[in-house]
């Protein structure tokens, strides 16, 4: 097929605003349907973004012009919704995590292969101009030979801003499975496959309180560990709440910017954002590199998948890469594919 790709969005929750803002702005895509268990919410999102149809998941999957399903459901529904989309002959873009466990994730990817379809998944921030510029700088030896990486994500919790955050503290979510893939995918993109993992976990609080929206003041249980995670060979330390950072330390391979130094440091953009700051700090005043790349806005993965399907080339934010990024966050292991080219 040729021309713009028909897209259906399943899940009309908070994250759908970001997705629909971007999906409806690209000429390569035509968003045709928004579906949700709450059909009134789906209708409201469709009206807000000028999408012609809304309704149930079954109605969306029965729409013949939809080639690509964007799956924004809660983690526990990702595989079931993805399999249903594949059985309907549609490609799938999924929010992370791709699956709740290795076995069901593998089932989803294997079924896509059997059907001649594609499954790709967030995180896709590694496609952004900021992290792509950082990758080129590391490859070029701008800070020398990388020796270690430090990834930090320490914030109070999504109950501070999310109006219905309970699912983020249930199995399949939590800070590690919800946020960890952003940082691990970036490290994989920069350095290649993960070879071994060590880690530890603890639960800071057994219950939390929603701070905003119509449920403000509502208390709910925490069913996951609040993980302090450490892949082997990566240094980790605790910082004050609110600190988010990905920092690389390297030994210099030669002069950089006219200066020689024994160690260099690169502070990368937050892998959960599309920010453009990435200064390689080789001296007291860091040099800021201008971000250069194709994608400068959030959530380009579904677009990149659609373009790859039309061009007949592999997508970069693939299901296999997604599996690599969240497998080390769980008590099981799987082989790692190569880094993003």
Top-confidence residue, 40 or 285: 40
Mean pLDDT over 316-326 rounds to 85
What is the average pLDDT value for the chain, to the nearest integer? 80
Per-residue pLDDT band at 136 (split at 50, 70, 90): confident
Give SS3 for 121: strand
Q: pLDDT tens digits, residue range 45-57? A: 999 999 999 999 9
Q: pLDDT tens digits, residue range 264-303? A: 567 777 766 655 444 444 445 667 777 776 655 567 899 9
Letter string b/e over residues 160-190, b meaning 16 or more CB atoms within 10 A of that residue's CB:
eebebbbbbbbebbbbbbbbbbbbbbbbbbb
| Domains, the chain, with CATH or none | 5-124+299-329 (3.40.50.720), 126-281 (3.30.360)
pLDDT (0 to 100) of residue 275: 52
Top-confidence residue, 20 or 329: 20
Mean pLDDT over 327-340 rounds to 46
Rg (CA), the chain: 20
pLDDT (0 to 100) of residue 181: 83
Per-residue pLDDT band at 152 (split at 50, 70, 90): confident
Q: pLDDT tens digits, residue range 153-209? A: 777 888 998 999 998 888 777 777 788 888 888 888 888 888 777 777 777 788 999
Structure tokens at 155: 């914030």
Top-confidence residue, 60 or 237: 60
What gap in Å lies between CA 86 and CA 318, rounded to an integer? 16
Cross-strand partners of 259 = 256
Q: For residue 96, give the nearest of 182, 188, 10 by alpha carbon.
A: 182
pLDDT (0 to 100) of residue 291: 72
Please pick, among 90, 96, 215, 273, the residue that the annotation labels catalytic.
96
90 labelled catalytic: no
Structure tokens at 269: 């953009």
Q: What is the pTM of this model?
A: 0.79
66 phi-psi bin (left φ>0, alpha ψ -120 to 50, beta other): beta
pLDDT (0 to 100) of residue 73: 96
């Amino acid at each position: 097929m040729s021309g713009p790709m028909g897209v259906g969005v399943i899940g009309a929750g908070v994250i759908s605003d970001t997705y629909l803002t971007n999906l409806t702005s690209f000429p390569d895509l035509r968003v045709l349907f928004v579906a949700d268990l709450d059909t009134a919410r789906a209708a409201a999102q469709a009206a807000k973004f000028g999408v012609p149809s809304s309704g149930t998941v079954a109605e969306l999957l029965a729409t013949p012009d939809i080639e690509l399903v964007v799956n924004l459901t809660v983690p526990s529904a990702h595989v079931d919704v993805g399999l249903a989309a594949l059985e309907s002959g549609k490609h799938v873009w999924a929010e992370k995590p791709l699956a709740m466990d290795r076995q069901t994730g593998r089932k989803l990817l294997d079924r896509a292969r059997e059907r001649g379809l594609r499954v790709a998944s967030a995180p896709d921030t590694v496609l952004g101009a900021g992290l792509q510029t950082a990758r080129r700088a590391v490859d070029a030896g701008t800070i020398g030979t990388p020796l270690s990486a430090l990834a930090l994500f320490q914030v109070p919790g999504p109950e501070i801003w999310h109006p219905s955050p309970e699912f983020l503290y249930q199995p399949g979510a939590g800070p590690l499975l919800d946020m960890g893939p952003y940082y691990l995918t970036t490290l994989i993109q920069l350095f290649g496959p993960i070879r071994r993992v060590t880690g530890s976990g603890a639960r800071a609080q057994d219950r939390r309180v929603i701070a905003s929206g119509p449920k403000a003041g509502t208390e709910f249980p925490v069913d996951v560990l609040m993980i302090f995670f450490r892949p082997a060979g990566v240094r980790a330390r605790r910082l004050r709440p609110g600190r988010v950072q990905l920092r690389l330390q390297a030994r210099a391979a030669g002069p950089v910017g006219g200066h020689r130094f024994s160690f260099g440091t690169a502070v990368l953009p937050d892998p959960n954002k599309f920010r453009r700051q990435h200064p390689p700090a080789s001296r007291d005043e860091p040099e800021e590199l201008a971000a250069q790349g194709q994608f400068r806005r959030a959530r380009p993965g579904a677009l990149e998948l659609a373009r790859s399907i039309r061009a007949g080339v592999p997508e970069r934010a693939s299901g296999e890469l997604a599996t690599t990024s969240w497998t080390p966050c769980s008590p099981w292991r799987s082989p790692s594919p190569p880094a993003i080219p």
